[in-house]
Chains A and B, each alone.
Chain A
Amino acid sequence: DQQVKQNSPSLSVQEGRISILNCDYTNSMFDYFLWYKKYPAEGPTFLISISSIKDKNEDGRFTVFLNKSAKHLSLHIVPSQPGDSAVYFCAASWGTSGSRLTFGEGTQLTVNP
């Protein structure tokens, strides 16, 4: 039972354009969502997060949008840079589970120069 899904295994965009990575979840108990970035043969690094009491959180070039009614969140990167090329994982947690995260399958983002 995949509670967090990233339906696009890959995404390719041109440098300078916007990258939009999508994530859907099924468990309505989730109340905290995170995005992690992962390079090959390395552990994931935290990128940005959002609480369910918000619908948007912005940090520099990265913005996460949350649509609770649709159980959908997205990560926008603008402008995209070649160094952004990596696998992006969406993750979710709820209540006192705190750091017990449920991850999506990941989306490979490639930003072409």
Chain B
Amino acid sequence: GAVVSQHPSWVICKSGTSVKIECRSLDFQATTMFWYRQFPKQSLMLMATSNEGSKATYEQGVEKDKFLINHASLTLSTLTVTSAHPEDSSFYICSANDRQGANTGELFFGEGSRLTVL
């Protein structure tokens, strides 16, 4: 299947700093990528839909000025957590679908990025 890769896999930062997470589709082009967040023992919550060449679409309750998403190319989307605070500590996962999965909902997920804000 298609491969999606995230970097870094884990990051620890001080409160107030910004952290950037990269999501790459390695063997296919993804016009749309999705960013999810998972808190311990909870479901994956969709944060935003990242569209190549245009603004991201954020889910209700997600602060677009705090979670900056850039999808500058068909293979790369970035999520920047600005002025991170301890409550932003979570597991951030990106996903994308290839052409075949576009209508089926079959997503390929990255490995996830564990963010810990001290």
On chain B, the number of residues with a Cβ less than 8 Å from chain A's Cβ atoms is 30
Question: How far is B41's CA from A9's CA once the two chains are assembled, in angstroms?
Answer: 8
A57 to B95, CA, bound (A): 24
Interface range for A = 20 to 34
Does residue B101 face the partner (Cβ distance < 8 Å to A)? yes
Question: Which A residues lie within 8 Å of B103 (CB)?
Answer: 98
- Contact assessment for B105 and A43 in the assembled complex, using a CB-CB cutoff below 8 Å: no
Tell which of B44, B101, B102 touches A103, judged by Cβ atoms closer than 8 Å: B44
> Chain B 96-110, CB within 8 Å of chain A: the 1/0 string?
010001111111111
B44 adjacent to A100 (CB under 8 Å)? no
Q: Which residue of A lies closest to B109 (CB)?
A: A43
Within 8 A of A (CB), among B73-115: 93, 95, 97, 101-112, 114
Cα A54 to Cα B41 in complex, Å, equals: 31
Q: State whether the Cβ of A26 lies closer than 8 Å to any Cβ in chain B.
A: no
- Residues on the B chain within 8 Å of A89, using CB: 43-44
Question: Contact at B110–A32, with CB atoms within 8 Å?
Answer: no
B107 touches A101 (CB 8 A): yes
Chain-B contact segment, one of A14-22, A44-52, A63-71, A76-84: A44-52
* Cβ of A108 to closest chain B Cβ, rounded Å: 9
Chain B residue with Cβ nearest A5 = B43
B109, chain A: closest CB distance, angstroms: 3
Contact A45 B112 (CB under 8 A): no
A106 touches B104 (CB 8 A): no
B114 neighbours in A (Cβ, 8 Å): 41
How close is A57's CB to chain B, nearest CB, in angstroms? 12
Binding site for B on A (CB under 8 A): 2, 4, 9, 32, 34, 36, 41-46, 49, 89, 91, 93, 98-106
B residues contacting A by CB (< 8 A) are 1, 4, 6, 9, 32, 34, 36, 41-46, 49, 93, 95, 97, 101-112, 114
* 25 A/B residue pairs, CB under 8 Å, sorted by A: A9-B41, A32-B104, A41-B112, A41-B114, A42-B111, A42-B112, A43-B4, A43-B95, A43-B112, A44-B44, A45-B109, A46-B1, A46-B106, A98-B104, A98-B105, A99-B34, A99-B97, A99-B101, A99-B105, A100-B49, A100-B105, A101-B46, A101-B107, A103-B36, A105-B42
